[in-house]
Amino acid sequence: MGNFYWIGLKAVPGIGNVAFRRLLERFDTPEAALKAPLSSLAGFKGITPAVIDGIKNGGWQRFAEEECRRLETSAARLVTYISHDYPKSLFEIPDPPPFLYIKGELRSHELAIAIVGSRRATSYGLMTTGKMAESLASHGVCVVSGMARGVDTAAHKGALQTGGRSIGVLGCGVDKIYPPENRSLFEEMANRGCLVSEFPLGTLPLAENFPRRNRIISGLSRGVLVVEAAEKSGSLITAQYALEHGRDVYAVPGNISFATSRGCNRLIKQGAKLVDCVEDILEDLPGGELAALDTPLFQSLPRTFALTPKEAAIYELLARSPLHIDDIISQTELTAGEVSSMLLHLELKGAVTPLPGTHYSIT
């Protein structure tokens, strides 16, 4: 039953990611939010009369029932944002999805680099991508990409080839194989890596889904490497998100007479780090001095932890920057007592660290 109310609340027209999490801060569970008396929903920030109508008319119930049936037959599962295996780096992006559809193994703390680029890559682009992905994976770095033709496909295949891990973020449902020629790669990713989508099952790969997909690619990664990109391309949108999310942006320089090189060469002019060997990326990662000596990265990543909705609200704020306790109180819907109590719980979980002067940061 758990999934039913999560899917149902998200299906109510007008409830976006931010309103969803705010409702959970107040009501603790999606079920309680959907069954709350009208009086406690009215006047709640972001909840309009139309949203209340949507909750009460029950259209979400039919969708949730059908989606739960599809989930059972699809070999996919939901990972919610309060779960121990939800990737904590997604709290650093402006609107983390309340849940993800997953096939394969998702790890809440994983050192990952995204590799993105043109669907119509040159042979130079495909070869460079494969080499970079193999090298990152052999150093224990997970390779994230978008499962599209061209650079994405080469990145996933390169990582898997060395027995490494790879995450594919989809602009469609995790039950849709797109492009169709990647059927065997989809199966391999589900078995040896992970497929991720925030879109409901059966969602088609529509153009408007891909910019949203790109912010998840950036959110999961420590940095983004652009291999080949035309002047106006989805890869540059991902690079833009990466900059906004405080990630490193890397670019492989290209032949100046190729259109597919223009995006990367422009990124380099604008300050992206020029990459001609994988050490250029590894030296920026935790334990990078070791990596340059060709040994695997031994990063000490925090242990995994689950969160309550109230703890998640605080963790999300601190994931963007350290804050004074008064700022945390003013920026959440929580009381001073609740904030103090949640901070203590988060500290005991190893999720946040107290700093001098009653400031806190994520560990």
> Does residue 201 share a domain with residue 116?
yes
Arithmetic mean of pLDDT, 343-361: 93
Q: Is residue 149 part of a domain?
A: yes
What is the SS3 string spanning the chain? Answer: CHHHHHHHHHHCCCCCHHHHHHHHHHHCCHHHHHCCCHHHHCCCCCCCHHHHHHHHHCHHHHHHHHHHHHHHHHCCEEEECCCCCCCHHHHHCCCCCCEEEEEECCCCCCCEEEEECCCCCCHHHHHHHHHHHHHHHHCCCEEEECCCCCHHHHHHHHHHHCCCCEEEECCCCCCCCCCHHHHHHHHHHHHHCEEEECCCCCCCCCCCHHHHHHHHHHHHCCEEEECCCCCCCHHHHHHHHHHHCCCEEEECCCCCCCHHHHHHHHHHHCCCEECCCCHHHHCCCCCHHHHCCCCCCCCCCCCCCCCCHHHHHHHHHHHHCCEEHHHHHHHCCCCHHHHHHHHHHHHHCCCEEEECCCEEEEC
> Does residue 136 share a domain with residue 277?
yes
Q: Is residue 81 part of a domain?
A: no
pLDDT at 301: 52
pLDDT at 162: 94
Give the list of residues 6+ apart from residue 339 with CB closer than 8 angstroms, or none. Answer: 314, 325, 328, 329, 332
Cα separation, 252 vs 150, whole angstroms:
15
Q: Is residue 247 part of a domain?
A: yes
Q: Is residue 79 part of a domain?
A: no
Q: What is the mean pLDDT of the chain?
A: 91
Domain end, chosen from 291, 325, 353, is at 291
pLDDT at 302: 55
> Does residue 169 share a domain with residue 251?
yes
> Does residue 135 share a domain with residue 230?
yes
Arithmetic mean of pLDDT, 261-276: 93
CATH number, residue 184: 3.40.50.450
pLDDT at 361: 94
> Does residue 153 share a domain with residue 238?
yes
253 pLDDT higher than 80? yes
- Of residues 156 and 294, the one with the higher pLDDT is 156
> Does residue 253 share a domain with residue 161?
yes
Least confident of 153-157, 193-197, 254-258: 254-258
Cα separation, 246 vs 252, whole angstroms:
20
> Does residue 216 share a domain with residue 146?
yes
pLDDT at 216: 96
Q: What angle do CA 152, 156, 161 make, to 5 degrees?
A: 145
pLDDT at 109: 86
Percentage of the chain with pLDDT > 90?
77
Burial 3-28 (b: 16+ CB within 10 A, else e): bbbbbbbbbbeebebebbbbbbbbbe
pLDDT tens readout for residues 20-30: 999 999 899 99
pLDDT at 219: 95
Beta bridge partners of 197: 101
Beta bridge partners of 251: 226, 274
Domain end, chosen from 256, 291, 326, is at 291
> Does residue 257 share a domain with residue 179?
yes
300 pLDDT higher than 50? no
Q: Is residue 36 part of a domain?
A: yes
239 pLDDT higher than 80? yes
pLDDT at 294: 52
Beta bridge partners of 104: 194
> Does residue 277 share a domain with residue 236?
yes
- Domain count across the chain: 3
- Of residues 39 and 22, the one with the higher pLDDT is 22
Arithmetic mean of pLDDT, 350-356: 93
**236, amino acid identity:** L
State the residue range of the domain holding 328: 309-362
> Does residue 207 share a domain with residue 335?
no
> Does residue 155 share a domain with residue 287?
yes
Pairing of strands 166-169, 194-197: parallel
Arithmetic mean of pLDDT, 191-213: 95
Q: Is residue 262 part of a domain?
A: yes
pLDDT tens readout for residues 60-104: 999 999 999 999 999 899 999 999 999 999 999 988 999 999 999
Q: Is residue 14 part of a domain?
A: yes
Arithmetic mean of pLDDT, 2-21: 93
> Does residue 123 share a domain with residue 266?
yes
177: closest CA among 198, 197, 154? 197
Cα separation, 361 vs 328, whole angstroms:
11
pLDDT at 40: 84
Residue 71 exposure: Cα atoms within 13 Å on the Cβ side: 20
Q: Is residue 92 part of a domain?
A: no
57 pLDDT higher than 90? no
- Of residues 47 and 119, the one with the higher pLDDT is 119
CATH number, residue 358: 1.10.10.10
